[in-house]
Structure 1
Amino acid sequence: MANPDAFLGNWRLISSECFDEYMKTLGVSIPMRMLGGMAKPDITISRERDKYMVKTESTFKTSEFSFKLGEKFGEDTIDGRKTQTLITLDYNNVLTQHQQWDGKETTITSKIVDGKLVVECVMNGVKCTQVYQKV
């Protein structure tokens, strides 16, 4: 059953696989990829009524966005893209973030597995997996 509140809280990155390859596929510059690869971001997910807020903080950069499930919105990503984003939650409690910009698109799915937040980012067959632990 869908439970968006399972995602609420503070999360710290504990592992990341294929992040550089994913950023390269997004078109992120080499200097930004180097900084991104070194960052160990914390994510805070909070809710106010039917609006969710996501704040990503690292020593290099902080970004924030808010959304309502099922409503498209403009997102300024941490790597500088301006996307049209739609976030949905399915009955298996998988949060899907679909970003579109300049004729490109990527999908980011998040789910809770054994108390950890598992985030998978996919674009053009390149998949990055990041795991966060609640703090």
Structure 2
Amino acid sequence: MVEPFLGNWKLVSSENFENYMKELGVNSATRNTVGSAKVKIIISKDGDTVTIQTESIKSTVISFQLGIEFDETTADNRKVKGVITLDSGSMIHVQKWLGKETTIKRNIVDRKMVTVSFPNFVCASFFSVHMANTAS
């Protein structure tokens, strides 16, 4: 059920994000710029299609159907194969490229979206809901 994730989310805080970006190969100038950026995520749904729009220094938009692999270009310009699923109330986003893989796990906790990224460095980001979106 994707509905708890729908809405406009504003970044409140982030932990270990710079190390996560470093592990992904993001250069230091970009890491410094992105680390201080205000991030907004808009998650919406139209029928079976979910859209995640990330607004920051570089904005990205992905539209997908749960469980179906799609092509994605990340904010740091990696060309990846992505697949997003729901598991026990978590939205699990797996990205694969050049023999590498990263996972972004989103959960709703106390009306906040908590995003954890891994494998090698665990990074956590906390978003407050700006405006819930119940459209589906």
TM over 0.5: yes
Q: Which residue of 2 aligns with 1:73?
A: 70
User: Given the alignment of the two structures, is residue 99 of structure 1 paired with residue 95 of structure 2, yes or no?
Assistant: yes
The amino acid of 1:75's aligned partner reads: E
Of 21, 45, 70, the match for 2:19: 21
Q: 1:40 deviation in Å?
A: 1.6
Aligned mates of 1:128, 1:73 — CA distance in 2: 24
The amino acid of 2:72's aligned partner reads: E
Q: 1:123 deviation in Å?
A: 2.5
Of 27, 38, 48, the match for 1:50: 48
Question: How many residue pairs were aligned?
Answer: 130
The amino acid of 1:112's aligned partner reads: I
Aligned mates of 1:48, 1:61 — CA distance in 2: 24
TM-score between the two structures when normalised by the length of structure 1: 0.94
The amino acid of 2:60's aligned partner reads: S
Report Cα offsets for 1:50-81 as digits up to 9, x if no partner: 000111112x2211111100000011001110
The amino acid of 1:76's aligned partner reads: T
Report the aligned-residue RMSD: 0.7
The percentage of counterpart residues that share the same residue type is 44
Of 96, 99, 108, the match for 1:112: 108
TM-score between the two structures when normalised by the length of structure 2: 0.93
Q: Which residue of 1 aligns with 2:134?
A: none
3-state SS of paired residue (1:22): helix
The list of structure 1 runs, each at least 4 consecutive aligned residues, that deviate by more than 4 angstroms after superposition, is none
